[in-house]
Amino acid sequence: MMPLFLYQFILLFFLIGICEFFRKNVKISFFLFTIFLICTSHLYIYKINNYNDYKAVWFTYTKLFLVLTSIYIGFFVRWNQNSLKNYQKIMIYSIFFLNILIALFLELMVKAEFYQLNIFSAFVLLLSLNEYKSINLSNDDSKDIEWNCIDKKYIIAYTLWNLSFVYSNFPGIILQHSIVLLSPILLSIFYAKKNNWLFYRSISLGLFLLFSIYMDSSSIDLVKSGKNFKIEQILAFSSFFFSLFLLSIKLKIFKLFR
């Protein structure tokens, strides 16, 4: 059996490599991703329908729909456009907004430990989004989708919240999902050094959701027993306090004391 650290290492570099390939080769990636989606969709639907909890079913279906829609929007707008139309900006904004909102609703339904803190962090992320008109394509040949409000501080806040949300509700996939969150951060901040995290995030999450058909179904059960209370507490409070920091910047509280 493969050691866990080696599995995580391979998964990280696989996601980094394929995300960057998809970014640089839009047309080829569109066809490859579509073929993969067609080949796995029937297995994915069968597996979701066999989940034990209806909350996991609707959440997973909705999540997959939003992620796939965002991926294909990314493909199409980068295929042959030099700028985004208003309706495309509204779609990108709405998908990202709903992505956080459905997680917030699931928190309210499941009510795991510290769910109030996760809900607060989700609200801050939603409030911190700028209007849809600030979403644009980059001016270089890459045509990356950029959103000026999604800077390093926002990415950190989102990542901490998402880790806390996943561990509280789907603890069986936390190790894999941490890699899914890490790969777009490494690519956008340290490799590309551009504000293109949104596209990387969509690709890494979309691939993970489709590959999850090969995972043990019990690992995707909601609020599985055996969670470490201390880890759940640390993640929830880390997300909460960083969200407070993000909110203070958004409301310009710091400037009041200058």
Residues of the chain above pLDDT 90, percent? 22
Per-residue pLDDT, 118: 94
Contacts of 159 (CB under 8 A, 6+ apart): 181, 185
C-alpha–C-alpha distance, residues 127 and 121, integer Å: 10
Give the range among 3-17, 20-34, 58-72 with minimum mean pLDDT. 3-17
Assess whether pLDDT exceeds 60 at residue 206. Answer: yes
- C-alpha 122 chain-centroid distance: 13
Contacts of 246 (CB under 8 A, 6+ apart): 124, 125, 128, 153, 154, 157
Assess whether pLDDT exceeds 70 at residue 173. Answer: yes
Query: What confidence tier does 44 reach under pLDDT thresholds 50, 70, 90?
Result: low
Query: What confidence tier does 239 reach under pLDDT thresholds 50, 70, 90?
Result: very high
Assess whether pLDDT exceeds 80 at residue 204. Answer: yes
Contact 127, 247 (CB under 8 A): yes
Residues of the chain above pLDDT 70, percent? 83
Assess whether pLDDT exceeds 60 at residue 252. Answer: yes
Between 5 and 182, residue with greater pLDDT: 182
Note the pLDDT tens digit of each residue in 86-106.
888 899 999 999 999 999 999
Phi, psi of 135 (to 5 degrees): -85, 130
Between 135 and 189, residue with greater pLDDT: 135
Between 147 and 214, residue with greater pLDDT: 147
Per-residue pLDDT, 258: 44
Per-residue pLDDT, 165: 93
| Model pTM score | 0.87
Per-residue pLDDT, 6: 77
Assess whether pLDDT exceeds 70 at residue 213. Answer: no
